[in-house]
């Protein structure tokens, strides 16, 4: 049986302890990680404490309802008995005089009746016997009737008293249960409010954590291709020879995009395989375009009001004019759909990738194929859609699934439309600060890691899971002082490779050798797990956890840019 006092005491102590926990600095990722884990543990403990309270409250409410039903039934019975008493009392009032007379006569008969009277008044013994017997019968009848009324009144009064006692007791129990129910409900509400506050803190910290992880990995957002196709970086290819072995590199499928709506390289691949623009749009948005009235102008930030069809859309610089014509038409509809909601709402649209890129120079002199694509799809939008699109998703789109010829994971990645279209971002190892091949690489000429560097990342995983706050705070790229990442700079003090290895040894054992790496992919378009064969046996880490620790510790700007990735070994 649940001990209510212990539960409430535990809940109260827990509440006091949890609400007095100090918050760590929000501008240090590793401390945030520690705090985030702590808050999650607190939330779990609070839920564990609240659950028996809820069960107890539920049981009390069930018992309370049962008792209320019993009280109601007893009250109904009591009312019936009280009505019976009233009816009996009315009968007694009507018979009161007769009953008094009978009592008086019975008294006289019992005290004064003499058998000799019957003897002398009777003509014979037979008559005497009849008279005597009759008189006694009358007396017994009167006595029985009086006693009957007496016991009736007495029984009803006893039942009334008994039921009144029951009602008082049940009312007392009812009141006690109401008090307990109200008290528990109040405690549960307090606990739930506390849990809600914890969840808000967790959400805030998770958001900040993601921002900082993105910063450490050299964050950027490549929503679209732009006017010119991307140039490839040979060093980012799996065919690149780093000049040492074993060598390991993390290859992301697709760039750092939202993975929603239309893939631009996917549209190129579909067009090259014979699909028209309606087929392409239906594949990505689930429906074909519809014609609406798109006449008039649109407000463009820094440009004023521009004619929507004949000028603004002509200046959209989101796909190279060298792409297949059907892909350009699909892009025209997607861009029109995206801008149409700004137009109809009267909002101003920006001219960068934060919205969609507009160039006045292109609008003044649009390429023939793009001009034709806009004109031939005039007024067409995808109803009910925002019109999201991006350059390369890696073959999986959250809004439509696997972007492959077979329509499933079975023929991925070889038959992904983006790969067939030749996207340089479909399978790439990232080691520069941004997507531009001219951006800083922190003095690295390729993204490949040595065995020591990958083992160092595993040791960071050990320390992050088992180390102190101070230890976790030092899990940063060893190059952070030479190659600062946003607000992480020379003030930070990362572990050296040897220091981190020593710390991992103190916490149960460090890794030095890695003989193989195996990656699994799930059906939702994410890397499910990373399994490594090491000098300390087999190690399996979830895909998201490995991505996090990799991006926290990998040197320079080497990073995993998508949740769908692979680890290659040479």
**Residues 142 and 287 both lie in one domain:** no
pLDDT in tens, 54-84: 666 666 667 667 766 776 776 677 677 667 7
**Residues 266 and 318 both lie in one domain:** yes
pLDDT for 27 equals: 43
**Residues 162 and 30 both lie in one domain:** yes
Mean pLDDT on 161-187 = 71
The C-alpha torsion from 158 through 163 and 169 to 173, rounded to 10°, is 170
Structural Rg of the chain based on CA atoms:
44
pLDDT for 273 equals: 97
**Residues 242 and 266 both lie in one domain:** no
User: Cβ distance 55 to 49 under 8 Å?
Assistant: no
Asked which of 17-26, 128-137, 356-365, 457-466 is least confident by mean pLDDT, the reply is: 17-26
pLDDT for 141 equals: 62
**Residues 290 and 190 both lie in one domain:** no
Q: Is the pLDDT of residue 512 over 80?
A: yes
- For residue 85, what are the domain limits? 4-216
pLDDT for 560 equals: 92
pLDDT in tens, 206-220: 454 455 566 544 444
Nearest CA to 152 out of 226, 236, 95 is that of 95
pLDDT for 119 equals: 47
Strand runs labelled E in 222-288:
247-252, 262-263
pLDDT in tens, 524-542: 999 999 999 999 999 999 9
Percent over 90 (pLDDT), the chain: 50
Asked which of 223-232, 261-270, 400-409, 425-434 is least confident by mean pLDDT, the reply is: 223-232
Is 227 part of a structural domain of the chain?
no
Is 224 part of a structural domain of the chain?
no
Residues whose CB falls within 8 Å of the CB of residue 369, separated by 6 or more in sequence, listed in order: 321, 325, 328
State pTM to two decimals.
Answer: 0.63
User: What band does 507 get if pLDDT is binned at 50, 70 and 90?
Assistant: very high
User: What band does 17 get if pLDDT is binned at 50, 70 and 90?
Assistant: very low
Please identify, among 368, 396, 420, the residue that sits at the C-terminal boundary of a domain.
Answer: 420
Phi and psi, residue 531, nearest 5°: -115, 130
Q: What DSSP designation does 310 have?
A: I
pLDDT for 326 equals: 98
* Alpha-carbon gap, residue 464 to 495, rounded angstroms: 12
Asked which of 34-38, 377-381, 421-425 is least confident by mean pLDDT, the reply is: 34-38
pLDDT for 555 equals: 94
User: Cβ distance 86 to 116 under 8 Å?
Assistant: no
Is 222 part of a structural domain of the chain?
no
pLDDT for 236 equals: 92
Is 90 part of a structural domain of the chain?
yes
**Residues 351 and 490 both lie in one domain:** no
Phi and psi, residue 252, nearest 5°: -90, 140
pLDDT for 146 equals: 61
Nearest CA to 555 out of 157, 218, 308, 288 is that of 218
Tell me the CA distances in angstroms from 522 to 203, 320, 439, 455, 519, one per residue in order.
Answer: 25, 33, 33, 25, 10
Is 163 part of a structural domain of the chain?
yes
Strand partners, 569: 248
Please identify, among 420, 452, 473, the residue that sits at the C-terminal boundary of a domain.
Answer: 420
Residues in the chain: 570
**Residues 127 and 248 both lie in one domain:** no
* Alpha-carbon gap, residue 412 to 266, rounded angstroms: 13
Nearest CA to 266 out of 403, 389, 388, 373 is that of 403
pLDDT for 211 equals: 54
**Residues 360 and 477 both lie in one domain:** no
User: What band does 200 get if pLDDT is binned at 50, 70 and 90?
Assistant: low
pLDDT for 456 equals: 98
Number of domains in the chain: 3
**Residues 88 and 142 both lie in one domain:** yes
* Alpha-carbon gap, residue 259 to 221, rounded angstroms: 11
Q: Is the pLDDT of residue 550 over 60?
A: yes
Q: What DSSP designation does 409 have?
A: G
Is 225 part of a structural domain of the chain?
no
* Alpha-carbon gap, residue 269 to 260, rounded angstroms: 17
Neighbours of 529 (CB within 10 A): 16
Mean pLDDT on 279-301 = 97
Is 229 part of a structural domain of the chain?
no
Domain at 180, CATH number:
1.10.287
pLDDT for 357 equals: 94
User: What band does 493 get if pLDDT is binned at 50, 70 and 90?
Assistant: confident
Using DSSP, state whether 195 is helix, strand or coil. helix
pLDDT for 175 equals: 74
**Residues 109 and 197 both lie in one domain:** yes
**Residues 414 and 505 both lie in one domain:** no
The C-alpha torsion from 471 through 476 and 477 to 483, rounded to 10°, is -130
* Alpha-carbon gap, residue 243 to 229, rounded angstroms: 30
* Alpha-carbon gap, residue 460 to 456, rounded angstroms: 6
Is 55 part of a structural domain of the chain?
yes
pLDDT for 315 equals: 97
Q: Is the pLDDT of residue 106 over 60?
A: no
Phi and psi, residue 332, nearest 5°: -60, -45
Nearest CA to 300 out of 243, 361, 264, 347 is that of 347
pLDDT for 22 equals: 33
**Residues 524 and 485 both lie in one domain:** yes
Q: Is 417 exposed, middle or buried (CB count within 10 Å of its CB: 0-12, 13-18, 19+)?
A: buried
Q: Helices 277-285 and 325-345: crossing angle, nearest 10°? A: 60
Asked which of 64-78, 409-423, 555-569 is least confident by mean pLDDT, the reply is: 64-78
* Alpha-carbon gap, residue 471 to 460, rounded angstroms: 10
Q: Is the pLDDT of residue 131 over 60?
A: no
Please identify, among 371, 402, 420, the residue that sits at the C-terminal boundary of a domain.
Answer: 420
User: What band does 162 get if pLDDT is binned at 50, 70 and 90?
Assistant: confident
Q: Is the pLDDT of residue 9 over 50?
A: no
């Amino acid at each position: 049986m649940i001990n209510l006092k212990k539960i409430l005491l535990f809940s109260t102590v827990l509440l006091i302890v949890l609400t007095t926990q100090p918050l760590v600095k929000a501008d240090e990722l590793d401390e945030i990680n520690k705090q985030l884990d702590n808050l999650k543990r607190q939330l779990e403990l609070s839920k564990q404490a609240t659950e028996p309270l809820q069960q107890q409250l539920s049981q009390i409410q069930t018992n309370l309802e049962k008792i209320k039903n019993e009280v109601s039934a007893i009250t109904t019975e009591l009312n019936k008995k009280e009505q019976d008493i009233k009816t009996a009392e009315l009968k007694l009032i009507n018979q009161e005089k007769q009953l008094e007379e009978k009592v008086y006569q019975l008294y006289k008969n019992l005290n004064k009746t003499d058998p000799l009277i019957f003897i002398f008044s009777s003509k014979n013994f037979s008559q005497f016997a009849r008279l005597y017997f009759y008189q006694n019968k009358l007396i017994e009848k009167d006595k029985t009737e009086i006693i009957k009324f007496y016991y009736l009144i007495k029984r009803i009064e006893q039942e009334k008293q008994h039921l009144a006692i029951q009602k008082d007791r049940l009312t007392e129990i009812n009141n006690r249960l109401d008090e307990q129910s109200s008290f528990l409900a109040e405690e549960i509400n307090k606990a739930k409010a506390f849990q809600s506050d914890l969840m808000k803190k967790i959400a805030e910290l998770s958001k900040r954590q993601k921002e900082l992880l993105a910063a450490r990995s050299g964050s950027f957002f490549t929503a679209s291709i732009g006017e010119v196709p991307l140039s490839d970086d040979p060093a980012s290819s799996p065919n690149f020879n780093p000049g040492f072995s074993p060598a390991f590199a993390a290859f992301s499928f697709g760039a750092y995009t939202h993975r929603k709506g239309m893939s631009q390289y996917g549209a190129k691949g579909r067009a090259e395989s014979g699909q028209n623009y309606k087929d392409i749009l239906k594949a990505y948005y689930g429906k074909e375009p519809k014609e609406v009235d798109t006449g008039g102008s649109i407000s463009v930030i820094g440009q004023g009001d521009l004619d929507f069809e004949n000028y603004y859309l002509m200046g959209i610089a989101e796909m190279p004019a060298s792409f297949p014509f059907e892909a350009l038409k699909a892009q025209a509809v997607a861009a029109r759909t995206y801008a149409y909601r700004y137009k109809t709402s009267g909002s101003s649209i920006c001219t960068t990738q934060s919205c969609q890129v507009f160039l006045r120079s292109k609008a003044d002199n649009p390429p023939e194929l793009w001009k034709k694509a806009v004109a031939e799809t005039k007024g067409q939008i995808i109803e009910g859609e925002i019109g999201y699109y991006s350059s390369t998703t890696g073959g999986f789109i959250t809004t439509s699934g696997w972007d492959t010829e077979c329509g499933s994971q079975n023929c991925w990645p070889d038959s992904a439309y983006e790969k067939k279209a030749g996207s340089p971002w479909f399978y790439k190892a990232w080691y520069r600060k941004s997507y531009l091949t001219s951006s800083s690489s922190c003095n690295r000429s390729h993204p490949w890691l040595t065995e020591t560097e990958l083992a160092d990342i595993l040791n960071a995983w050990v320390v992050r899971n088992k180390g102190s706050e101070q230890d976790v705070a030092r899990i940063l790229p060893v190059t952070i002082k030479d190659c600062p990442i946003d607000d992480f700079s020379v003030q930070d003090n990362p572990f050296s490779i040897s220091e981190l290895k020593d710390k991992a040894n103190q916490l149960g054992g460090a890794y030095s050798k890695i003989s193989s790496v195996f990656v699994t992919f799930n059906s939702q378009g994410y890397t499910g797990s990373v399994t490594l064969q090491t000098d300390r046996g087999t190690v399996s880490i979830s895909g998201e956890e490995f991505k996090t620790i990799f991006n926290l510790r990998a040197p320079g700007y080497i990073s995993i840019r998508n949740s769908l990735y692979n680890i290659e070994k040479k």
